[in-house]
Amino acid sequence: MPDTADPAPVTARRKFRREGEGRRRQDLIEATLDCVAERGLAGATVRAIALRAGVTAGLIRHYFPGKEDLLQAAYATIVGRMTEQAKAAPGMEQADPRRRLAAFVEANLGAPVMDVRIFSLWAGFIGRVHADPTLSAAHREGYLGFRDELETLVAEVLDGSDRTTDKAQLRHYAIAINAILDGLWIEGCLAPEMFGHRELADIGLASVEAVLGLDLRTPGEEAASVRRPALSSEAVGSGG
């Protein structure tokens, strides 16, 4: 059936819908996260992001001054989401400080925090942190916020025990536990297939218990101090 009448113009323009500003920005940020997670920071070009978001490339600069700003917004989003998920983890509402700390540890060593997507983002940005002051500030804020949260949790746990702990010890505990969580998180993100279900969470819990010298999972008053505290003052010289 040749020569069918075609009402469409020879150079058809793409149909589109006008979305609200909030929605579009969110979509663009989400598309950016997808691109970075799947193909790395280098794969997050304006065209790739736009394609994934279902718009054309030019629209990005209508909502963000430049690509850099979109990346920073995406980074801030992921950082905020991580700490938020960890703080609001199931179990964090419990009254027992030991159970809260345990829940915090488990939340950071399982889905959705321990995810290769998030790790890719983290890695992609962390490499530029020391070169980009804006990213550096965002990172430092998130990092210190995380460690402060950890220090608070540990302080509450120790308050409930019969141990006396000075500020330097508390700081050392927080640094050590933070390192354990970071290290296990990285391992789990990079090679999830190498570890069994809950294996990293259990290792993390046991390691934190060992460092604190406390039992976090059977938190009776008497079970709390069967182990001798590690990281005692005489073992670790006070620094900084």
Partner DNA sequence: CGCGTTGTTATGCAAGTGTATAAATACCGA
Partner DNA sequence: TCGGTATTTATACACTTGCATAACAACGCG
| Site residues (vs a copy of itself, CB under 8 A) | 38-43, 116, 119-120, 123-124, 126-131, 139-140, 143, 172, 175-176, 178-184, 186-187, 190-191, 194-200, 202-204, 206-207, 209-211, 213, 227-228, 230-231, 235-240
Residue 183 contacts which entry, a copy of itself, DNA, none (Cβ below 5-8 A, type-dependent):
a copy of itself
Site string for DNA, 64-93 (x = CB under 7 A): --xxx-------------------------
- Dist CA 179 CA 41 (whole Å): 25
Q: Which residues of 147-183 are buried (b: 16+ CB within 10 A; e: fewer)?
A: bebbbebbbebbeebebebeeebebbbbbbbbebbee
Task: State which residue, 9 or 239, has the beta carbon closest to a copy of itself.
Answer: 239
Residue 108's CB: how many other CB atoms inside 10 A?
26
Rank residues 25 and 99 by Cβ distance to DNA and give the closer one. 25
Write phi, then psi, for 151 (nearest 5 degrees).
Answer: -65, -40
Distance CA 168, CA 240 (A): 9
HSE, side-chain direction, 13 A CA sphere, residue 56: 7
Tokens linked to 219 = 């938190």
Q: What is the DSSP letter of 104?
A: H
58 contributes a contact to DNA by CB under 7 A: yes
CB of 126 to a copy of itself, least distance (A): 5
| 17 binding partner (options a copy of itself, DNA, none; Cβ < 5 to 8 Å by kind) | DNA
66 within 8 A of 58, measured Cβ to Cβ: no
Binding mask 19-48 for DNA (x = CB under 7 A): x-x--x-------------------xxxxx
Say whether 219 sits in a helix, a strand or coil.
coil
**Minimum separation from the CB atom of position 38 to a copy of itself (A):** 7
Of the residues 17, 90, 197, 220, which one makes contact with DNA according to CB under 7 A: 17
Helices in the chain by DSSP H: which ranges? 21-39, 46-53, 60-63, 67-87, 97-108, 116-129, 133-160, 167-190, 199-212
Assess 232 for contact with DNA (CB under 7 A).
Answer: no
- Complex with a copy of itself: residue 96 or 202, whichever CB lies closer: 202
Write out the residues near DNA by the rule CB under 7 A.
11-19, 21, 24, 44-48, 55-62, 66-68
